[in-house]
């Protein structure tokens, strides 16, 4: 009997904000299965004392302009100017939508424009989303599509992508309904073939079908503890009409579908002598058409819910060199700050920077592979230097990168002798 009572107590959630008993200081029971938490009581008290409160006012003050959003992104992200402009405009329009009361523009309802980011690995898709999250004044959540499966199968229900948004909004459903969700690895839910199979595609087309209504706008039921839904479970209901969705994926192999459609190869007896110009990755993605995404495995209805498609450019050598040194959170600055705790002054020669960027280009890992290159090069130095007393100066050279030689170390005594 005691066990049954504890189970029922664990399932109690606030009927207003959806917080469980573990997430609140006090949960007050009402008639039937109704409950209210102490935070909602305080909010109700404030509304009664201050009069009617319009939640849209909280979002209308100091709305950042697109130029301000892009300027902030420029501090952390090198290149990808078009992607930053497109995201800045989409987010700004999202602010305007949620700050205007319904029917404010002559009964014209402004629909949201969800965004699809496409680009090779290491081009900055996830970094764009994370940097946006720091700037925005609305709840923001980054989720992964790879764990999602159809209802009834092992994995997570599609509605769980909204749970993190609710948590980041502090359990306030009204605020969460005006937030932004970034769904990473969206290409992993592409169906395995162009033809609809009679067998179940557990993590492919079925997940896209389930995401349709959530992305477009509907009342979703979210399990308060995540995981699977089950009968007799209290669910959090959230309206996704005003939630902006940004989806991102590498879409490996998509360029082949574009090339097959765009590049014209000569046929017939002169096919051997005909010249075919090879298009770069950027030129190919400039010709992206929704049909290419459908051939890749995305269903037409899902693509229609993402009207803004942004193709990120593949990073070149000069871009990687700037990424290593220029942004506020540049990897070189991170290592310099880390080693400064051990009285180590870390320096990189220009040739070393060129070699690091060149290695990332050869490995085709983009900016994501820079840390792996640096870690492999700096491990021995970071292991030995904390045991050396006094102030030290470390100079990373080209040989340190290409020939895996240990960087040159100069202690304070050596500096004084050479002087």
Give 10-residue mean pLDDT values along the chain (419 residues): 42 71 76 78 68 44 81 90 91 80 60 88 86 82 81 68 87 86 88 52 71 87 70 80 90 86 61 57 82 88 90 89 90 91 89 92 86 88 82 87 80 62
How many Cα atoms are found within 13 Å in the side-chain-facing hemisphere of 74?
A: 9
The secondary structure element, H or E, covering residue 347 is strand 344-348
- The H or E element spanning position 116 is strand 115-118
Superfamily of the domain at 57-102+110-253+279-311: P-loop containing nucleotide triphosphate hydrolases (3.40.50.300)
As a whole number of angstroms, the distance between CA 103 and CA 163 comes to 29
96 Rama class: left (phi>0) / alpha (psi -120 to 50) / beta = alpha
Q: How far is CA 266 from CA 159, 263, 272, in A?
A: 50, 10, 8
Q: Where in the chain is the domain with CATH 1.10.8.60?
A: 317-418
Question: Given the structure tokens 């009581």, which residue do they identify?
Answer: 41
CA-wise closest residue to 247 among 221, 286, 208, 219: 208
> Residue for token digits 């310099």?
336
Q: Which two tokens stand for residue 322?
A: 């700037």
> Tell me, what's the pLDDT at 230?
60
pLDDT of residue 351: 92
pLDDT at 56: 43
- 261 in the Ramachandran plot: left (φ > 0), alpha (ψ -120 to 50) or beta? alpha
Q: Please state whether beta strands 244-249 and 35-37 pair in parallel, antiparallel, or not at all (unpaired).
A: unpaired
Give the pLDDT score at 54: 44
pLDDT of 154? 55
Q: How far is 14 from 26, CA to CA, in rounded Å? A: 10
- Looking at the chain, the domain(s) classified CATH 3.40.50.300 span 57-102+110-253+279-311
Distance in angstroms (rounded) separating the CA atoms of residues 365 and 359: 9
Among the four given CATH numbers 3.40.50.460, 3.30.230.70, 1.10.8.60, 2.40.160.40, the one describing domain 317-418: 1.10.8.60
pTM for this predicted structure: 0.73
């Amino acid at each position: 009997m005691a066990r049954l009572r504890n189970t029922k107590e664990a399932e109690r959630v606030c009927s207003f904000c959806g917080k469980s008993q573990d997430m609140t200081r006090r949960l007050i029971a009402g008639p039937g299965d109704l409950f209210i938490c102490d935070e909602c009581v305080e909010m109700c008290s404030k509304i009664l004392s201050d009069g009617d409160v319009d939640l849209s006012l909280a979002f209308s003050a100091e709305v950042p302009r697109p130029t301000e959003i892009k300027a902030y992104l420029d501090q952390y992200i090198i290149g990808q100017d078009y992607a930053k402009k497109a995201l800045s405009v989409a987010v700004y329009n999202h602010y305007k939508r949620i700050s205007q009361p319904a029917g404010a523009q002559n009964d014209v309802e402004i629909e949201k424009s969800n965004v699809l980011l496409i680009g090779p690995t290491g081009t900055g898709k996830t970094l764009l989303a994370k940097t946006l999250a720091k700037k925005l004044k609305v709840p923001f959540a980054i989720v992964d599509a790879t764990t999602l499966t159809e209802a009834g199968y092992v994995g997570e229900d599609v509605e769980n992508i909204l749970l993190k948004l609710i948590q980041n909004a502090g359990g306030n459903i009204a605020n969460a309904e005006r937030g932004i969700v970034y769904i990473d690895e969206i290409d992993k839910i592409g169906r395995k073939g162009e033809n609809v199979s009679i067998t179940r595609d557990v993590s492919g087309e079925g997940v896209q079908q389930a995401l349709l209504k959530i992305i477009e706008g509907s009342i979703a039921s979210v399990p308060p503890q995540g995981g699977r839904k089950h009968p007799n479970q209290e669910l959090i209901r959230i309206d996704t009409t005003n939630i902006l969705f940004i989806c991102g994926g590498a879409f490996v192999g998509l360029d082949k579908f574009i090339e097959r459609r765009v590049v014209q190869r000569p046929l017939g007896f002169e096919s051997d002598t005909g010249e075919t110009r090879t298009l770069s990755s950027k030129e190919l993605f400039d010709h992206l058409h929704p049909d290419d995404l459908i051939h890749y495995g995305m269903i037409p209805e899902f693509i229609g819910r993402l009207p803004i498609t942004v193709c990120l450019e593949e990073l070149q050598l000069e871009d990687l060199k700037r990424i290593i040194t220029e942004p506020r959170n540049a990897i070189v600055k991170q290592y310099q700050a880390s080693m400064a705790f051990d009285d180590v002054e870390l320096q990189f020669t220009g040739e070393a920077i060129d070699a690091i960027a060149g290695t990332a280009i050869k490995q085709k890992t983009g900016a994501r592979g820079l840390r792996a290159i640096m870690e492999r090069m700096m491990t021995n130095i970071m292991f030995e230097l904390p045991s050396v007393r006094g102030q030290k100066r470390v100079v990373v050279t080209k040989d340190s990168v290409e020939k895996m030689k240990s960087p040159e170390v100069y202690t304070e005594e050596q500096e004084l002798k050479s002087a």
